[in-house]
Amino acid sequence: MSFDRETPVFQLAIPTRQRYRPVLMPVWVHQVTAPTGYSRTLDVFQTVVLRLCAAGVRDIGDLSRLIGLDTALCRTVIARLIEGRLMEPGLKLTEAGRRTVAEGEVAETDSRLVRVFQDPASGALLPRILVADPVRADLREHRGRWVTIQFGTAGASREVSALTLRADGSSMRPSERDVLEACRSHDLAARGLRGASRDDTMAAARRIGFHGTANPAYLVCYVVEGDDGSGRMWTVDDPFAVGDGRVFADAVAARTEGDEQLSRLVDNVIGKTRRDRTIAARKVDRELAEDARAEVVRILGEEIREHPEVFAHLADIELALVKDTARERENAARNAIRVFECILPGLNARFPAQLPMSTVPGVRERAFVLTAERLGATAVPPSMRKYCAKPANGLAGDIIKAVWAAGENAQHPFTAFIRLCPTLLEDLDRSRILRNNATHGSTGAPAPDELEHIRTLAYEAARHLLGLSGGRSTTSKKVN
């Protein structure tokens, strides 16, 4: 089935940079009922907007002036809050929104009707979902593959020329697991994370239902100048405004080689000379990536290939250490934590924890500290003490649940892991802080010795918690 000029065009975000070139990405849109989670931690803009609206602000212009944020970006923040069922149109808070303001955390949502998006070229789902009705772009003119679209608000609108990407491929019904991964990837991107899906998918997948047949559509994407860490000198702004847009840049890059018009469009963004340098840099990057994957297999054995997400994060760590820039060191800290975020949920599903019955203040905390110390931990960080009585979702909660479960079961993989790494809880807490710093602000990359320690910890987690038996020592690279 081909896409044509009658296909709807969805514009979900506006460009945030001065130099950009719009392209229309063809997608198949599937409507499904799926269990979705919304970020338990709001970013600073979402928090401020929610609190101001709770205080009675009802005008977007007033919000813009109070926050010092562009009106269009305010609308994007509001759209994310509406998707999370924290706000209703008209800047009114839902009951969940009011509870979030009062309690400081977001409750997870139940199953709901969402849209997922499939790339016709590869058949893969994009790692994004849409809950609210999509905003339709206004098409003014259509000349072959070039269209004129209008974006912006009344009185501040602009017309731009956009290239329509080729729409090769037919619609295929995605698997329930693919839908679940798209929902979780969207939630992780909204929290500033990447990858790290959970393994307890079977029960959740049974709650997914498909509604009708897929419909064709176009997403407005913006190719912008900028290094996304892949070796390119250009990237794509996330059209859903929740992540870094790398997956969309990869999808566009895969089409450039056989598409002269798209190649010219990219050339106009970065210039021909820089494009040639980018092609050479990407070739080197591919070779380095192959070496990084080979190093992971050397250390952990071929069994690690059976855990593709953990494998990918460990390879990213190796690649970051080879590139050895401040940004890449920050990426290594993120990926080390993602290894635990991949493994622990499935481990906790296999070994569910039983919390002590007592609800007397302080009793569970003391019991948790004793449990950790008996397992061999040298110390329990304050953040884990604080939430051990009622562990929430997320990395800290998953660690707490694993410690509780290991205290009851000598065969639990965490038992031997803590005995081997007695500073594990402190190391994980420190790594989590480094990851958050790298994600939410420029606070400096980890020191070389600290980064090597984090890397070793990630490998030992994969070895012990996944039960891998192959490979060799983790001591293989020196970080300068």
What is the DSSP code (8-state) at residue 226?
A: S
Sequence length of the chain is: 480
Which of 176, 139, 113, 181 is closest to 3 using CA atoms?
Answer: 139
Which of 290, 302, 321 is closest to 471 using CA atoms?
Answer: 302
What is the DSSP code (8-state) at residue 207?
A: T
Q: Return phi, psi of residue 241, to 5°.
A: 60, 35
41, pLDDT greater than 70: no
What pLDDT does 194 receive? 47
What pLDDT does 155 receive? 56
What pLDDT does 279 receive? 60
User: What is the three-class DSSP state of 458?
Assistant: helix
Q: Taking the alpha carbons of 444, 445, 447, 448 in that order, is the dihedral positive or negative?
A: negative
User: What is the three-class DSSP state of 18?
Assistant: coil
The bridge status of strand 92-93 relative to strand 234-237 is unpaired
pLDDT digits (tens, 9 = 90+) for 393-428: 677 888 889 999 999 888 899 998 998 889 988 888
Mean pLDDT for all residues in the chain: 79
110, pLDDT greater than 70: no
Please give the distance of CA 74 from its chain centroid, rounded to a whole number: 21
pLDDT digits (tens, 9 = 90+) for 244-277: 788 888 888 888 878 888 888 888 887 765 556 6
pLDDT band at 116 (very low <50, low <70, confident <90, very high): very high
Average pLDDT over residues 286-305: 89
Is residue 148 classed exposed, middle or buried when 0-12, 13-18 and 19+ CB atoms within 10 A define those classes? middle
pLDDT band at 294 (very low <50, low <70, confident <90, very high): very high
459, pLDDT greater than 90: yes
Average pLDDT over residues 95-121: 75
Which of 432, 345, 344, 334 is closest to 384 using CA atoms?
Answer: 432
pLDDT digits (tens, 9 = 90+) for 362-372: 888 888 899 99
